[in-house]
Chain A
């Protein structure tokens, strides 16, 4: 179910009504789980089995780590993580394994190719893994505090944590230590309405006005359309796609955060104005924060982080980014995208230790532009999932210089990209007195955004990150 679809609004209203009905206050968690299952199974009911099965692994393993024999805890934790990874690999990477390692006519290979990709699997399996590891390590909480002795209560809480519909299919990736402490009875009086609605309006605006409209123009970057586009058109389209992907995913995250607020839950900020980053390290602290912190906490640091010497640190960094890239999709292009970013991080660290750049205004501007350009060109690997097409794309960029630019396309892309740049610019100027004064009237801006959502939304499209 899409956050922008009519059935979703019906589900939301009914769930909200039931959730805050005083007589049903003891069943709030059940209501959320039921609504989440409906949300997930709406377009493909069979998928509900996976949403029952995958968290069940986490429920059982986290319960036995907490209340089982103290000698087996490590083995259970490892088995739990491996089982969850197995689910992820089977459903997500089978086609890639088949294409890469097996013969086209091989019966196993053909079978693997037919396995469908369940929506949101990368998100909820990672959340399950975070539960098992958090419970095992007790790094963030005392396991007996949040793992109820009653198996039923425990199962109910974990299903709520993993299937909670605002974050279920495209994040933010919620960690067990962030969510479990929040499971308690909620009252309508505690809702921060203003904050929730601001997030929702901004989220819907980024998704429906910016991303969904840009989509009508950035399709020209896809195969085979790019062959006939002029170089200027392609460059502007790449810029537009960069804004589209931000608006799509940041928009989704803001909607998720706003919706969670309506039910009394706080989800972590997933995007913190990433396109103002003046370094790649900063970019990854601002872009898809829930994934980068997950990879940092559960992969990079456990591998050794920067504690085992520089060479190993570079290696761990590359490996983390490679896996992070592959997490995005079952195509080697995503892995290359991860390596592309990993390489940037490694080079930046290597050079950063040897060259000290001043922090002059123009130096920062140039660094920001460089990071933005690198990140933007890397998105081409997201749009074109066949690497030969990526090569062709760059060849076309060089070849199509004589073709005339399409003014209308450029105007539309720049116009719909403008809110993304303004959004970042406002953040950069946030401490300016004149802006603080203007911000008192920000409800006019939210009113305008609402007007544009209603009158100028693009055609409904799936969120780009759904495929991950």
Chain B
């Protein structure tokens, strides 16, 4: 009890201290931050691909992209909050990925919500071990170096440490995933779900936009990407939704699907220019 109380007091003195150790925790923390913030105008929902959009370059944006998850968890979080943003940008790359019930169960559990709101030491991002590791990294590890680097230095550093063999292995896996035949019935079910969310958001006065994150050009024409793109083209026409045109220029990735830092900056510029030309910005 003494340790617990001391830790709670410590956190109240250092409210910004936090750390996560897994994508699961990071996703929950991201969603929780979204739920705690009432003044958000533009929300991005998507998979880990969209986490590469750098929202610090976009004003009034919140990136609710969840690593290893699809758009439905993000959309459910928006629906759950019941305080709606002006615009929602939905990534289409992994539109076939179903929602994660256990993620929602953890996030929306009334007990967990109450506890995390009222007792800071019980919040996921306040777990002592990840915090200690993060602080140690800042003091002694690579994070200390990274913190001192400019973006150009970081780009140069990552280029210097690029491992082609590792890239090839990662790419092969993605190639296999993208070559898989898509389960059309499951996709249809997902699109029905998507349609429900889109109509719901529209009914609340939210502008909905779709966009596709760039991936390695070799993957673009494989089975999975093609099937999803075709289904989405029909869907967009049917639901009359605005779409951010895909950038056809070639992008470098870390593994075939995730943009590296340099390309993230490039795509964020593109995304920003497209957003500025959207109908809601024309008025």
Contact = CB atoms under 8 A, between A and B. Distances in A.
A181 interface: no
A228 B1 CA distance: 43
Nearest to B142: A407
A228 B170 contact: yes
Nearest to B2: A447
A228 B137 contact: no
A443 to B, nearest CB: 12
Contacts of A217: 22
Interface string A74-92: 0000000000000000000
Interface stretch (B127-135, B146-154, B211-219): B127-135
Given A228-B170, A412-B21, A451 B7 contact: yes
A6 B163 contact: no
Given A216-B21, A224-B173, A459-B25, A454 B165 contact: no
Interface in A415-449: 415-416, 447-448
A452 B127 CA distance: 9
Interface residues of A, number: 26
Interface string A314-343: 000000000000000000000000000000
Contacts of A460: 102, 106
Contacts of A412: 21, 129, 133
B24 A216 contact: yes
Given A228-B170, A456-B129, A216 B3 contact: no
B170 A411 contact: no
A408 B133 contact: yes
Nearest to A461: B102
B29 interface: no
B137 A408 contact: yes
Contacts of B266: none
Contacts of B172: 227
Interface residues of B, number: 32
Nearest to A462: B102
B198 to A, nearest CB: 30
B82 interface: no
Secondary structure class of chain A's binding surface, majority of residues: helix
A352 interface: no
A457 B77 CA distance: 23
B169 interface: yes
Nearest to B133: A411
B4 interface: yes
Interface in B82-105: 102
B111 interface: yes
Interface in A195-215: 213
B126 interface: yes
Contacts of A408: 133, 137
A403 interface: yes
Given A227-B169, A454-B122, A407 B4 contact: no
B63 interface: no
B204 to A, nearest CB: 31
Contacts of B106: 459-460
Contacts of A69: none
Nearest to A454: B4
Nearest to B105: A460
Nearest to B111: A6
A455 B109 contact: no
A270 B121 CA distance: 34
Nearest 3 Cβ contacts at the A-B interface: A216-B22, A456-B127, A451-B3
Given A455-B4, A455-B127, 10 more contacts: A227-B169, A228-B173, A403-B163, A407-B141, A408-B137, A412-B129, A447-B3, A451-B3, A454-B4, A456-B128
21 contacts: A216-B21, A217-B22, A228-B166, A228-B169, A228-B170, A402-B165, A403-B163, A403-B166, A407-B141, A408-B133, A408-B137, A412-B129, A416-B129, A447-B1, A452-B128, A455-B7, A455-B122, A455-B128, A456-B127, A459-B25, A460-B102
